Amino acid sequence: MNVSTAIKSRRAIKAFDPSHRISKDETEQLLSLALLSPTSFNIQNWRFLMVRDPELRRQIRAVAWDQAQVTDASLLIVLTADLKSWAREPARYWRNAPQPVQEFILPAIEQFYNGHEQVQRDEAMRSCGIVAMALMLAAQEMGYASCPMVGFDFDKVGKLINLPVDHVVAMFVTIGKGAKDAWARDGRIAMSEAVITDRF
C-alpha cells in the first residue's frame, strides 16, 4: 500500500474485533516504524504505554466515556511524553553526528528547553501528534484499523497508569481488526478555507 492510499483509506474506527490478537512481531514492526518519527532536536520524547492488563483496560474504559475500543482493540497505546527527555543524556541523541554539529546542537537544546516549561509541553504534544499519525498509517498498511482518542479523563488515566510527574498524556491510539465500517466521511472544509497564503 502506498502512502497516498493509506492516507485516503485510514479512518477512525470505533468497533474492533475483541477476539483478534496482533502478534508480537507485528507489534514490534509497528513500533519500529513509529520510532522513526521526527522530533525537535531529535529528543525522541514520546513514550508508548502499551496497556495489556485486561482489568486495567476496563478501569481506563470506565474513565473514557465507556468507549468500547479501549477494551476491544488489539492494542491500546497511551501516548505519553517525557517532558524532560531533552535533559536526559542529550549527547546520545547526536552521538553519530560530526563533532562540530554536537558542539552546536547540545548547548542549543539546553537553551531552548531549560526553564521553558510551556515549550516542553508544546513540544510533547507536537511529537505525539506526529507519532500518532505514523502509528495509524503503519497500521493501515499492515491491514489494521486504528482510532486516535482524547475522550477520557486525563488526570484519572494518569493515576491509573502511575504517570511520572515529569510526563504528560497526549492521547490514546487503539489498533486492531475493525469490526464495523466507519461512518460516511464527514464534510471536509474547502482548501480555500484551510490554506492561507502569506498572512491572515
- What's the pLDDT band for 184 if we cut at 50, 70, 90? confident
Helical (H) or strand (E) element with 149: strand 145-149
Query: Where are the chain's structural domains?
Result: 3-194
Task: Answer yes or no: CATH 1.10.472.50 is held by domain 3-194.
Answer: no
For the entire predicted model, the pTM comes to: 0.94
- Give pLDDT tens digits for 149-173: 999 999 999 999 999 999 999 999 9
Which one, of 136, 151, 143, lies nearest residue 17 by Cα?
143
Q: What is the pLDDT of residue 152?
A: 98
Distance CA 149, CA 165 (A): 22
Q: What is the pLDDT of residue 185?
A: 82
- Give pLDDT tens digits for 112-153: 999 999 999 999 999 999 999 999 999 999 999 999 999 999
- Give pLDDT tens digits for 28-54: 999 999 999 999 999 999 999 999 999
